[in-house]
Structure 1
Amino acid sequence: MLKQVLEIEELLDARFITGFKVKQFFAKFSFIKVGVSTVKGVKGSTDFVRIVVPGTHGKSNGGQAPTLGVIGRLGGIGARPSRIGIVSDSDGAVAALSLAYKLSVMHEKGDVLAGDVIIATHICPDAPTQPHQPVDFMDSPVTMYQMNQYEISTEMDAVLTIDTTKGNQIINHKGVSISPTVKEGYILKVSYDLIRLAEVVTGKLASTFPITMQDITPYGNGLYHLNSILQPAVATKAPVVGVAITTVSMVPGCSTGASHEPDIADAANFSLEVAKEFTAQKISFYDQAEFKQIVKLYGPMNKLQTFGNEKVTD
C-alpha cells in the first residue's frame, strides 16, 4: 500500500489540485465509477470525490453482498496561503484515495472483492484554519452537514471514517487507532473482528481510543468534539468506526511536514482488509442481537444524531 500512498500524496500536494484532476488520475480504470461535485460555502469551495469500486456480487452488479463505505475525513488538504504544502489534515484523504487506487489495481489483476466499496472524500488545497484547544484545527470551506450529504450514502452498510487525530491530549500512540462502533446514537463496544484485523495489519497490539457522547453529536451544537472523525455517524443508520491516524505528541492539523506515510499506509491497508472480509460477510462491526436488546431496554438514542432541543443549523 505504501506505493499507492506515495503516488496519491504526490498527486495531492499541489496548489492547483482539484477533484477533477483526481478523477483524471483514476480514468485508466474503466471499471470504476468516479464522480466529482464542486460545492461552494461561505469560506470557499471544495470538490467532493466519490469512487465506487464494484464487487463481483455487489449491489452495483445486481448482487446482495454488503457495501463498505470509507470516508476520508478532513477539513482540507492544504491551508494556502498561510501554509505552503500538504498539511497533516490531508492524511484522511490520502488514505482513502490510496485504498481506492489499490482496490482498482487489484481489480485489474483479477482480485475482485465480493461487495462494492464506496470511497468518498473532498479536495481543498486552500482551506481555512480555526482556533481550537489544545491546538488549532483545519477548518473547511463547507459545513459538516454538506460534507455528510456528499460523503455518506444509503448504499453503505457499514462505514470506516479515516481522520488525522493528532491534535489532542487523549491519544498518545503513534500509528493507527480505532474507535468503538457508533450506531444511531449508541456508542457500542469495540468490534473484536476489527481489533483482530488491526493487529494483523500493524503487527502490533491494537490501539483503541475513547470517545464521548459529545463526539457523536453534530458539529455546531456548542459542545466540545475530539475532532470530526465520528461526524459521519450523525448522518447514517449504518455502524460507523473511526480509524484515527495518530501521534504521541500533539500535532496541529494545519502543520506541514507532519504526514507519516507508513502510518497512512497502515490505515489504508487496515481498511482494505476490512473491505475484503466485510463484503464477504466474514466479520461484523457490531453484535446485532445485543444492539436489538439495548434498544429494547433503553429505547432509541438517535436524538443524539440531531441538534436535540435547540434549533441550530450547521
Structure 2
Amino acid sequence: MLLKQLIELYDILDSSTASGAAVKDYLCGVNENADVTVYELKGARGKTDMIRIRVSGTNGKSAGKDAPTMGILGRLGGLGARPERLGFVSDGDGALVALAVAAKLLDMQKKGDYLDGDVVISTHICPNAPTQPHKPVAFMGSPVDMAQVNKEEVNGELDAILSVDTTKGNRIINHRGFAVSPTVKEGYILKVSDDLLDLMQITTGKHPQVFALSLQDITPYGNDVYHLNSILQPSTATDAPVVGVAITTETAVPGCATGASHITDLEEAARFMLEAAKAFGRGECRLYDEEEYGRLRKLYGSMKRFQTLDGKEAQ
C-alpha cells in the first residue's frame, strides 16, 4: 500500500510554497541514504524545480551490473494554477504518484528490500503554472517547454519508461481509475504489453484498461496537431520503449480543476508501477517483443521521423 506516502506527499505539494527542496527533505527523512537531485529549470513563462531520484538495485547499473533500469516519469504542467485557482490541481496527480513510488522504494530499502534493477524517478515541482485553452476542457500549461523537460528527464540510461500523467480532459477514456497505453518505441505504436496487463489485473483485481493512441499523440508538442495530452511526449526523445499510465475518470475533468484527485485511484496506479519496476528489473516484464519489433523495422523501415517536429530524421 502507498496510501501513507501519497497522503504525506500531498500535504507537501498542496501548498503555494511547494518546492523541490521540501520534497527532497521529505524523501531524505524516509531514507537518509536517498539519492535525490534538485535543481531549477527556467523557461519562457517562469521556472520550476526538477527533481530526480535514483533508487539503486542490487544488480543494477549503479552497482556495475547489468539489470535493466526502469524510468518512472511524473508528467504535468504544474501542481497548482495560482493565482487563478487555489489548491492542488488534477494535473498534479502525475507528480504525486511518481514521488509516492520513490518514497515507497526508499522505505523498502530502509527495511532491507532491494529491487534487482535501478529505478530512476523524475518529475518537476511547480505550484503556480499557467493554464491554456483546450477542448473539451482546459489544459494546464507549463512554465517550461516540453522539450526542456524531456531533455532533463529522458536519457540513454533508461531501458524502459512508464510515464504517469493525469489524462482526464478527454472523451477517449470513460473509466475512473487508471489505464495503460500501447507501447511506443521510435515512432511505432506497438501492441499492448501482456506482462503489464497481467500486473494490472493482479494489482487492481479487475480487468485491465487500455486507452487508444493516435499517431498525433506520439509526435512532439509544437507541431500544431492535436494531442490527447503530454503523456507520450517522453517517447519523442528516446529509443527506449515508453508506456503511458493514465490517471482517468468517466467524465472530462479539466487539468486545472481543484478537488479532483482521487486517492484510491492514485494508489492503484502507484502500486501497479511499483510492481512493474520490480518485475522489469528481474527480467520478468517486457514492454515489447524485440523480435517482432525487428521484423517491423525490416518490413517498414524507421519511423523516427515521427519523433521530430519537421518529419525529418537526423542523418
Query: Which of 62, 86, 89 matches 1:87?
Result: 89
Q: Secondary structure at the match of 1:4?
A: helix
Alpha-carbon deviation of 1:151? 1.3
Matched residues in 1 for 2:94 and 2:196: separation? 18
**Letter in structure 2 aligned against 1:47:** D
CA–CA distance in structure 2, aligned partners of residues 266 and 234 of structure 1: 27
Separation (CA, whole Å) in 2 of partners of 1:200 and 1:10: 29
Partners of 1:113 and 1:279 within 8 A in 2: yes
Q: Which residue of 2 aligns with 1:7?
A: 8
Q: TM-score w.r.t. structure 1 length?
A: 0.97
Alignment partner of 1:288 out of 287, 290, 300: 290
Query: After alignment, is 69-78 or 23-32 more displaced?
Result: 23-32
Matched residue, 2:215: 213
Aligned counterpart in structure 2 of residue 157 of structure 1, from 156, 159, 169: 159
Distance 2:93 2:289 in 1: 30
Alpha-carbon deviations, 1:121-165, whole Å to 9, x = none?
Answer: 000000000000110000000000001011112110000000000
How far has the Cα of 1:32 moved from its partner? Answer: 2.6
* 1:106-127 superposed Cα distances (whole Å, 9 cap, x missing partner): 1111110001000000000000
* Aligned equivalents of 1:47, 1:109: Cα separation in 2: 29
Distance 2:104 2:221 in 1: 32
**Counterpart of 1:24 in structure 2: which amino acid?**
D
Distance (whole Å) between structure 2 residues aligned to residue 2 and residue 262 of structure 1: 8
Structure 1 gaps of 5+ residues are: none
Name the residue aligned to 1:66. Answer: 68
Distance of 1:168 and 1:20 partners within structure 2:
33
Report SS of the residue matched to 1:34. Answer: strand
Amino acid at match of 2:26: F
User: SS at the partner of 1:84?
Assistant: coil
Write out the 4+ residue segments of structure 1 that deviate beyond 3 Å after TM superposition.
Answer: none
Distance in 1 (alpha carbons) for counterparts of 2:285 and 2:231: 22
Contact 1:31 1:53 in 2 (8 A): no
Offset at 1:30? 3.1
Match of 1:127 in 2: 129
The letter for the 2-side match of 1:302 is K
Alignment partners' CA distance in 1, 2:130 and 2:291? 44
Q: Is the 8 A contact 1:117 1:275 kept in 2?
A: yes
CA distance in 1 between counterparts of 2:11 and 2:194 reads 35
- Residues 236-266 of structure 1, C-alpha deviations (whole Å, 9 max, x = no match): 1000000000000110000000000111111
Counterpart in the other structure of 1:197: 199
Provide the alpha-carbon RMSD of the alignment. 0.9
CA contact (8 A) 1:216 1:230 kept: yes
> What are the within-5 Å matches in structure 2 for residues 92-111 of structure 1?
92-111=94-113
SS state at 1:303 partner = helix
Partner residue of 2:278? 276
Cα deviation, residue 24, structure 1: 1.2
**Residue in 2 that maps onto 1:18:** 19
| SS state at 1:171 partner | coil
The residue number in structure 2 matching 1:50 is 52
State the shift of 1:62 in Å.
Answer: 1.0
Identity %: 56
Q: Secondary structure at the match of 2:182?
A: coil
Q: Where does 1:203-282 land on structure 2 (aligned, <5 Å)?
A: 203-282=205-284
**Number of residue pairs matched?**
310
Aligned partner letter, 1:110: G
- Return the offset for 1:2: 1.2
Do the aligned partners of 2:305 and 2:311 also contact (CA within 8 Å) in 1?
no
Counterpart-to-counterpart distance in 2, 1:290 and 1:126: 44
Once residues 303 and 30 of structure 1 are traced to their aligned partners in structure 2, the CA distance between those partners, rounded to angstroms, is 44
**What is the CA–CA distance in structure 2 between the aligned matches of 1:309 and 1:209, rounded to whole Å?**
25
